[in-house]
């Protein structure tokens, strides 16, 4: 046990977060995301009993976002014509504002299939049991100052 570390950050996930270097990316995926097939060249960590917001909040307590790119946080864009609402994105915004002074300006959107291609290049994918649609989020690591 360690003090000050969110309990949701397992030893495996902490190790991965420590191993990641500047500009490496991690995906926190919803329950529908094909984590295992997208993560064939990545480390896949399963947190099926948890939702993306609680994982995001815990990771951002120890993980610096990249300051050298416009959008170190990227969401999977909703497909045109898909009548899906994404209130979870407001939750993400609140969490990001709590951990990074740049707030919403850190957030970008990547077209769904382009997001899949970028996810294939991620260092790690955290597969959650999140049931919200379009709840996938990609974080790019910055430096600790």
pTM over 0.85: yes
CB 38 within 8 Å of CB 118: no
85-136: per-residue pLDDT in tens? 999 999 999 999 999 999 999 999 999 999 999 999 999 999 999 999 999 9
Q: What residues does each domain of the chain span?
A: 22-140
Return d(Cα 37, Cα 100) in angstroms, integer: 31
Is 119 in a helix, a strand, or coil?
helix
Question: From edge to edge, which strands make up the β-sheet containing 137-140?
Answer: 43-47, 124-128, 25-29, 137-140, 73-76, 107-110
Report CA dihedral (131, 118, 23, 25) to the nearest 10 degrees: 30
Return d(Cα 139, Cα 4) in angstroms, integer: 22
32-76: per-residue pLDDT in tens? 999 999 999 999 999 999 999 999 999 999 999 999 999 999 999
Domain 22-140 CATH superfamily: RbsD-like domain (3.40.1650.10)
User: Would you please indicate which residues are annotated as catalytic (active-site) residues?
Assistant: 22, 66, 116
């Amino acid at each position: 046990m360690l003090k000050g570390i969110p309990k949701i950050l397992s030893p495996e996930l902490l190790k991965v977060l420590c191993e990641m270097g500047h500009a490496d990316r991690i995906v926190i995926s919803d329950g529908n995301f094909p984590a295992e097939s997208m993560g064939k060249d990545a480390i896949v960590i399963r947190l099926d009993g948890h939702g993306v917001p609680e994982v995001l909040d815990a990771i951002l307590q120890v993980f610096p976002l990249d300051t050298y790119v416009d959008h170190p946080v990227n969401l999977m864009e909703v497909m045109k014509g898909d009548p899906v609402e994404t209130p979870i994105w407001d939750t993400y915004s609140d969490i990001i504002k709590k951990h990074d002074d740049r707030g919403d300006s850190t957030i970008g959107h990547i077209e769904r299939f382009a997001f899949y291609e970028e996810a294939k290049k991620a260092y790690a994918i955290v597969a959650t049991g999140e049931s919200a649609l379009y709840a996938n989020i990609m974080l790019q690591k910055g430096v600790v100052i």
